[in-house]
Amino acid sequence: MKVTAGVVQMDVRLGDVSGNLARAVSGLRRLAGRGVNLAALPEMWSAGFDYPRLTEHAERTPELLERLAREARELGLSIVGSLPESTPEGVANSSFFVDEKGVRRPPYRKVHLFSPTGEDRRFAAGDRAVVLDTPLGRIGLIICYDLRFPEIARKTAEMGAEILVIPAQWPVARARHWDVLATARAVENQVFVIAANRCGADKDTLFAGRSKIVSPWGNILARAGKRPATISASLDFGEMASFREKIPCWRDRKSILY
């Protein structure tokens, strides 16, 4: 099946669930109008890191997922995005894959929590990599800070991921790292990367935007600037197969050493 991927880059307004939902849906509809069938939303897209009301926002997540499922059915889209999820261990920052059949299980719960801003004190950490078999291919899920840990991306690739989707809230101050790491994860694992960052600001923190779709060769197939935008690109799986054949990293690995 042909895969055309897209990103809704949006300003995630703190605590504004109705407004964020409207912005997300508007972007998804624009992407569907361009023939996109795999769309990514940013990290914590419904309300941002609104810690005082985190439990309340997590309780609304099933309702938001149902809305995404309706949009997926109407638009012929598969959608990935991160939301707060109520779990027995506490609220997790979870990336969900939603299509016309509803929410695919399991979600991916963010493993690496960003301690400098206290995520490790607010969220329950995930404990496993997730790769989902979908009609669009095998899709691996990681979130934001996970991008700094090549092991989690490699684990998804070892599990057969062909596409890695990364919702994020990455700041301007470290935008260069975002660009380098997203490309590195694509090249070293020979997979497509769909990196969906937010833009805008929360208090004193400016967010980078610069969402991108990266090929296994490291080519930037589509890139956003610093403002709200929708981007899209076709994914050529033949290119991925060709790259893996010409540069046979998987065959040449010395996994006994690592």
pLDDT category at 258 given cuts 50, 70, 90 is confident
Sheet with 38-40, side-by-side order of all strands:
102-109, 90-99, 78-87, 38-40, 3-9, 229-235
What structural domains and CATH numbers belong to the chain? 3-249 (3.60.110.10)
> What is the reported pLDDT for 76?
97
> What is the reported pLDDT for 189?
98
Q: How many residues does the chain have?
A: 258
Mean pLDDT of the chain: 97
Active site residue 110: yes
pLDDT category at 255 given cuts 50, 70, 90 is confident
pTM metric for this prediction: 0.97
| Phi and psi angles of residue 62, each rounded to the nearest 5 degrees, phi first | -55, -40
> What is the reported pLDDT for 203?
87
> What percent of the chain clears pLDDT 70, i.e. is strictly above it?
100
> What percent of the chain clears pLDDT 90, i.e. is strictly above it?
97
Mean pLDDT score, 91-112: 97
Indicate if the pLDDT at residue 1 is higher than 80: no
Two tokens at 25?
């849906």
Indicate if the pLDDT at residue 163 is higher than 90: yes
Active site residue 162: no
Summarised one tens digit per residue, pLDDT across range 31-59 is 999 999 999 999 999 999 999 999 999 99
Indicate if the pLDDT at residue 64 is higher than 80: yes
149: which residues sit within 8 A by CB, 6+ positions away? 111, 112
Q: Which of 110, 155, 162, 212 is catalytic?
A: 110
Q: Which of 43, 71, 85, 162 is catalytic?
A: 43
Summarised one tens digit per residue, pLDDT across range 102-158 is 999 999 999 999 999 999 999 999 999 999 999 999 999 999 999 999 999 999 999
Q: Which of 85, 119, 144, 199 is catalytic?
A: 144
Mean pLDDT score, 184-190: 98
